[in-house]
Structure 1
Amino acid sequence: MKAAGLCFAGMQRRCKDLLLAVWIGAFAPMATAQTLTLEDLPRYTVPPPETGPVLDVQVEHWRREGLALEHGDGVERDPVRAAELYCRAARYGDAEAQFNLAWMLTNGRGIQRDDAQAAHLFAAAAEQGVAQAQNMLRAMGTPRGAPPPCLRPPEADEVAAAPLPAAPNPAPGRVTVEPPWPPPPAHAPAPIVNFVSLVAPDFQLAPALVLAVMATESNFNASAVSPKNAQGLMQLIPDTARRFGVRDALDPAQNIRGGMAYLRWLLARFEGDVVLATAAYNAGEGAVERYRGVPPFAETRLYVRKILAHLGGRRTHPFDATVTPPSDLLPLMRGPGRWR
């Protein structure tokens, strides 16, 4: 994920007010009667799931419209509607919308104050590199409880097909219908395809999944190094490389084996759910568990869409339950509104 580093457009006026809002909250018992009316302000309504595909330009439009309504720029000020639009964009990983909604909730700017929700929203924006959100999170502390609805994966992201079984290891005699594994990407180098095809079965992995991750991570560039020091074909960060016994992450064979070991572990952790496993490969299993599904990060959401496109819509993969126990939170990731 790329760091933002700078104030977003429309945020300059509030950058100096943020810590002040938290300071005021600490002294709520001594607040004036005017401050106490924050409890009487209206709550915004979480928008319903979208009915069709949502493009990035639509998400940006929601955020821009919300900004205008929040400040009354060219339109009549409507903080409730602004919060609803920010919520819509926040669900699709828009970091600025997440920050703006968190600020409204912290400051009681036209909507009822809710520091618990705000902390989660600041955390999501902070994890996407928003410096102001990182400052606010340090002041507010670690979020507690489940993420608010505005950070839950929207239903519109689910593949428009019949729901697949939760567990991809079918019982004896039971047939699970899935699309066939696709051929290797046309631009994948033959030596890499041959190596993956030879080694993937040792890790109980379909070569197509490994190649899809590799194409999305590094585009088959063995010397790729990201700003976060993720290295090689499978873009292993140093901690993950050590975790799976990789001594030289830029050695193609070691890198591929380490990435395969991590994929096998993630598939066991999420019981063969390709969406959750690949989201965790990108953002970390902790983020997937914390957000009860695909995290509300624009990069991760795009990453999962690319993986699914490479796999032709296939969303499950056999897994080895002896590798690691499943996530305790897995049942919460399979309910309505989750990107299954």
Structure 2
Amino acid sequence: MKQGVTGIMLSLGLLWATGPAQAAEYYLYQLPDGSRTITDHPKLDSDHKLVCKSRNPVSLERYAAGHNSFNTAPAANYLRFENIIYTVANQHQIDAALIKAVIHTESFFNPNATSHKGASGLMQLMPATAERYGVTDLYSPQQNIEGGVRYLRDLMLRYPEQIKLTLAAYNAGEEAVDHYQGIPPYPETRKYVKKVLEKRAFYSNWP
């Protein structure tokens, strides 16, 4: 394992030296001897088994080296959806770290998650919310994230500059927030807001 991590660090250094900003995606491969390598272009030969890919080589290096601090969701799952998250975040001008934090809190990056209340997918959309935003497949990562982010954006417009109310409404509904004129006195909702903000701070500082 030490040999594999060393190889990854070397590959990472070479990538940064040649200009990481020029590459759209980076790829983490496992070789037949068990070692791993990161490259900025896909390998099509049978000796290179794709583990995951990302726009950020540091994220790949941390995953490969086994860094999993702050009880983060499995890095392989997070990296699977990273490109979708950044694309949708840019389209709707929403902080990508906030989207990651909501997904982490809602589903732990499990696209097949289903709650006992009927919420489904990465961002745990309720059927009515999914219909409202044109989501036809709740378990489609692309559709679920798109619908969830559009809902977040609308909540932000409804509660401008009040991220805590936005998150409370995402969890408990706009009606509850409006009724209490603030965060509802539900232990689950108060804990939810706190968790998402903590994870947002984490993802804001995590490559």
TM range (shorter): 0.5 to 0.7
2:83 is the alignment partner of 1:194: yes
Number of aligned residue pairs: 130
Cα distance in 1 between the residues matched to 2:109 and 2:195: 15
Displacement after TM superposition at 1:204 (Å)? 1.1
Displacement after TM superposition at 1:312 (Å)? 2.5
Q: How does 1:174-213 map to 2 (within 5 A)?
A: 185=72, 187-188=74-75, 189-213=78-102
Cα distance in 2 between the residues matched to 1:244 and 1:202: 15
Displacement after TM superposition at 1:194 (Å)? 2.1
Displacement after TM superposition at 1:186 (Å)? 6.3
Greater share of residues in strand:
2
Aligned to 1:244: 133
Moved over 3 A (4+): 185-188
Greater share of residues in helix:
2
Judging changes above 3 Å, is the alpha-carbon distance between structure 1 residues 205 and 271 closer, same or farther for their aligned structure 2 residues?
same
- The structure whose RCO (Cα within 8 Å, separation 6+) is larger is 1
Q: For residues 37-96 of structure 1, what are the alpha-carbon distances to aligned partners after superposition, in whole Å with 9 as ceiling and x for unaligned?
A: xxxxxxxxxxxxxxxxxxxxxxxxxxxxxxxxxxxxxxxxxxxxxxxxxxxxxxxxxxxx
Indicate the SS of the match to 2:105.
Answer: helix
2:162 is the alignment partner of 1:266: no
Aligned partner letter, 2:197:
L
Out of 172, 196, 202, the position equivalent to 1:307 is 196
Equivalent residues of 2:164, 2:193 under 8 A apart:
yes
Out of 145, 164, 182, the position equivalent to 1:256 is 145
2:104 is the alignment partner of 1:227: no
The unaligned stretches of length 5 or more in structure 2 are: 1-71, 203-207
Equivalent residues of 2:100, 2:200 under 8 A apart:
no
Q: For residues 10-32 of structure 1, what are the alpha-carbon distances to aligned partners after superposition, in whole Å with 9 as ceiling and x for unaligned?
A: xxxxxxxxxxxxxxxxxxxxxxx
Indicate the SS of the match to 2:97.
Answer: helix
Cα distance in 1 between the residues matched to 2:149 and 2:200: 17
Q: How does 1:103-252 map to 2 (within 5 A)?
A: 185=72, 187-188=74-75, 189-252=78-141
CA radius of gyration, larger in? 1
2:178 is the alignment partner of 1:289: yes
Cα distance in 1 between the residues matched to 2:132 and 2:175: 15
Displacement after TM superposition at 1:283 (Å)? 0.2
Cα distance in 1 between the residues matched to 2:180 and 2:73: 35
Q: For residues 275-313 of structure 1, what are the alpha-carbon distances to aligned partners after superposition, in whole Å with 9 as ceiling and x for unaligned?
A: 000110000011011011110111101100101111239
Q: TM-score, normalized by length of structure 2? A: 0.60
Displacement after TM superposition at 1:187 (Å)? 3.5
2:187 is the alignment partner of 1:298: yes
Identity of aligned residues (%): 49
The unaligned stretches of length 5 or more in structure 1 are: 1-184, 314-340
